[in-house]
Structure 1
Amino acid sequence: MKIGLYIALVCGILSGACIFFNVALFPSLVFPVIIGMIGIIATLWILPNPDISHMLKLGGVLINIFPVIAGLIQILG
């Protein structure tokens, strides 16, 4: 089940780098937002697991939710 945390970490780094640091990996901001949402889903997938720390779960959600919110603000604003 820890694979969900690794997926969330990779998704958070990719989406955060593309949105916050303007790394041109994708042609549009929609793709990093979708990748961030995949990371949130991967973190929500591991929530029922009692072996993983609550702070790791919170970090997995936060590392993905901030780029998603910032990307949506840039797309819609």
Structure 2
Amino acid sequence: MKIGLYMALICGILSGACIFFEVPLFPSLMFPVMIGMLGIIATLWTLPNPDISHMLKLGGILVNVFPVIAGLIQIFTR
């Protein structure tokens, strides 16, 4: 189940770099938002596991929520 947190970290870094630093990896801003949502789902997948720290789970969710919110704000204000 720890693989979900690793996936969330990679998704958060990728979506955060594309949204906050405007790294041109994707043609549309929707792709980093979808990658961030995939990271949130991967973190939610680890919630039933009691061996993983709650702070790691919270960090996995937050590292993906902030780029998703910022990306959606940028999409809707254009």
| TM-score category, normalised to shorter length | over 0.9
Helix, strand or coil at the partner of 2:26: coil
Distance 1:76 1:51 in 2: 39
Aligned to 1:24: 24
Aligned to 2:54: 54
Distance 1:71 1:22 in 2: 11
Distance 2:16 2:28 in 1: 14
Aligned to 2:44: 44
Deviations 1:9-42 (A, max 9, x none): 0000000000000000001100000000000000
TM value normalised by structure 2? 0.98
Runs of 4+ displaced beyond 2 Å: none
After superposition, the CA RMSD in angstroms is 0.3
